[in-house]
């Protein structure tokens, strides 16, 4: 399996899965994709139907990473997808399923269900990929004798998923910046209660943007970056995308009785990482009818899939919503889909994403390309805060199921795209406990709390408060990497 950049660099060169694992963007600023998508045969699909999650993950991953010995990869997948790690299931469910499918009911002739992706350690779907990444990093570093110091900024979700994935991993340290006293008590406790010696929580005196500026400043100090082996775990990482392909297969098998059926998926979207994995599953031959992109008030993607116009927003036009993990104004994985949409023409991709930088967007409506969006199965919709509150209430009353704001966004949009006889699977991307404020508003009660989270806020916390100054952050990293 060879990887190429969406902007054309490296065509004719060889990049294996391991080569791109620890890196971010390609040299030319593009994103890596396989030179060809592997196809899944009818025989394979039949065999995969009954596999455990871990063994299914091995089968899917091995199609993208033929440079890793099969026995190593299988052991890695089995170590990652265990009932112990994905233990935060609701009453009566089996943790061994990793991503249980919860049927809700039949609406407009379509069986409607939730695919639970949020039973991992941080109660959000990012655990699905990040946990694998932690084990892949440890494996790759041990092979080469290298170490890695991950530097990141978080306002909550991604940072905690990264910390829980990397805790205790050999050769990896995490330095995570978060805004001091600006996160919810739950989010703060989730991150700061980690006592692992390789996890460093840095509470920056400032806001989230200050944290991000520091990460940029440190990354732009190339000497420091090389000296201290600084890396990141952002959502464009290819291994994260490919790990997410697995649960589309799992969800498909759970929602159908035979491989002749087709299934639609609705995906609460921000950076387009999750639904990009669905696109890849479909390109591999999984019988997916529709891929429904659901956004909140930050509707860059909905606008594109309705009009062909991609117009990124500035920070003044990016709203803080009750589904904050989708408050994104520029979808970092979108370029991967555009590459396929344009028939894999890197010169045109380069031009379009130059237009994004220089003119704030591009318009594919006039060219014939936009019409092909439907051939790839894509449709879209968006929700408002009032929609999400209404859906949370409705689902609780009608189906006795408590859902979070992101999943509510998905369900609202899914209902606009139901087709009789075609199962609709909505990806559940977080548990309600993470977004308790809206649960209290919608249901006038506390969110459900998995047993492992009892008393979380009272645990001792370990963090370092630093001023919003890149120099002091560098000094802190230097002291802890040597020590």
Binding residues for ligand PLP (CB under 6 A) = 124, 126, 157, 235, 268-274, 325-326, 406, 429-430
Distances (CA, A) of 426 to 243, 319, 403: 18, 24, 11
Q: Give the nearest distance from C-beta 269 to ligand PLP in angstroms.
A: 4
Which is the catalytic residue, given 126, 169, 330, 474? 126
| CA 389 centroid distance within chain | 24
| Closest CB 336 distance from ligand PLP, rounded Å | 12
Complex with ligand PLP: residue 16 or 384, whichever CB lies closer = 384
Max Cα–Cα distance, the chain, nearest Å: 62
Is the Cβ of residue 272 or residue 339 nearer to ligand PLP in the bound state? 272
Short-list 126, 128, 186, CA closest to 152? 126
Residue 63 bears catalytic tag:
no
As measured in angstroms, the least distance from the Cβ of 427 to ligand PLP is 8
**Residue 212 CB burial class (10 angstroms; 0-12, 13-18, ≥19):** middle
Place of tokens 């959000």: 124
Q: Which is nearer to ligand PLP, 85 or 300 (CB)?
A: 300
Cα–Cα distance, 432 to 189 (Å, whole number): 16
Cβ atoms of 138 and 171 closer than 8 Å: yes
In the complex with ligand PLP, which residue's Cβ is closer, 231 or 270?
A: 270
Cβ-based nearer residue to ligand PLP, 198 or 235: 235
Element counts in the chain: helices (H) and strands (E)? 18, 15
Please give the Cα distance from 267 to 292 (Å, whole number).
Answer: 6
Angle at Cα 350 formed by Cα 347 and Cα 353, nearest 5°? 150
Cβ-based nearer residue to ligand PLP, 427 or 466: 427
Strands (DSSP E) along 139-229, which ranges?
A: 148-153, 172-179, 199-205
Q: Cβ contacts of residue 391 below 8 Å, gap of 6+?
A: 383, 403, 408, 409, 411, 412
Instruction: State the nearest-atom distance from the C-beta of 300 to ligand PLP, in Å.
Output: 11
Query: Minimum CB separation from ligand PLP for residue 124, in Å?
Result: 4
**Smallest separation (angstroms) from ligand PLP to the CB of 475:** 32
d(CA 269, CA 273): 8
Residues with a known catalytic role: 126
């Amino acid at each position: 399996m060879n990887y190429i950049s969406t902007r054309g660099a490296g065509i004719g060169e060889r990049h294996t899965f391991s080569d791109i694992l620890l890196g971010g963007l390609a040299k030319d600023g593009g994103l890596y994709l396989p030179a060809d998508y592997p196809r899944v045969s009818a025989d394979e699909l039949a065999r995969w139907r009954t596999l455990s999650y871990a063994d299914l993950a091995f089968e899917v991953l091995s199609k993208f990473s033929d440079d890793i010995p099969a026995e190593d990869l299988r052991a890695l997948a089995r170590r990652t997808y265990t009932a112990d790690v994905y233990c935060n299931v609701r009453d009566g469910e089996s943790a061994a399923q990793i991503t249980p499918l919860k049927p809700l009911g039949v609406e407009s002739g379509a069986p409607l269900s939730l695919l639970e992706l949020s039973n991992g350690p941080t109660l959000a779907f990012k655990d699905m990929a990040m946990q694998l990444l932690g084990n892949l990093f440890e494996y790759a570093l041990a092979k080469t004798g290298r170490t890695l110091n991950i530097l990141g900024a978080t306002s909550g979700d991604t940072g905690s998923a990264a910390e829980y994935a990397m805790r205790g991993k050999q050769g990896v340290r995490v330095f995570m910046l978060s805004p001091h006293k600006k996160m919810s008590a739950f989010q703060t406790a989730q991150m700061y209660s980690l006592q692992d010696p390789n996890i460093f929580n840095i509470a920056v005196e400032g806001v989230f943007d200050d944290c991000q500026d520091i990460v940029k400043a440190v990354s732009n100090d190339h000497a420091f970056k090389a000296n201290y082996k600084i890396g990141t775990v952002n959502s464009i990482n290819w291994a994260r995308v490919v790990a997410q392909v697995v649960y589309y297969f799992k969800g498909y098998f759970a929602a159908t009785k035979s491989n002749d059926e087709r299934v639609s998926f609705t995906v609460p979207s921000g950076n387009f990482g999750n639904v990009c994995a669905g696109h890849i599953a479909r390109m591999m031959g999984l019988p997916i009818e529709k891929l429904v992109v659901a956004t909140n008030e930050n509707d860059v993607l909905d606008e594109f899939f309705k009009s062909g116009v991609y117009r990124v927003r500035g920070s003044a036009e990016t709203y803080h919503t009750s589904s904050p993990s989708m408050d994104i104004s520029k979808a970092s994985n979108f370029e991967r889909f555009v590459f396929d949409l344009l028939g894999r023409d890197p010169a045109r991709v380069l031009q379009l994403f130059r237009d994004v930088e220089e003119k704030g967007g591009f318009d594919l409506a006039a060219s014939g390309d936009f019409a092909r969006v439907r051939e790839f199965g894509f449709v879209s919709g968006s929700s408002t805060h009032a929609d999400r509150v209404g859906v949370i209430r409705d689902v609780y009353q009608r189906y006795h199921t408590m859902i979070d704001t992101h999943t509510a966004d998905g369900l609202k949009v899914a209902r606009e795209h139901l087709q009789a006889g075609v199962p609709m699977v909505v990806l559940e991307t977080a548990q309600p406990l993470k977004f308790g404020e809206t649960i209290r508003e919608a249901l006038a009660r506390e969110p459900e709390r998995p047993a492992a989270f009892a008393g979380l806020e009272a645990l001792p916390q370990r963090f370092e408060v630093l001023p919003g100054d890149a120099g002091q952050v560098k000094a802190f990293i230097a002291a802890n990497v040597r020590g």
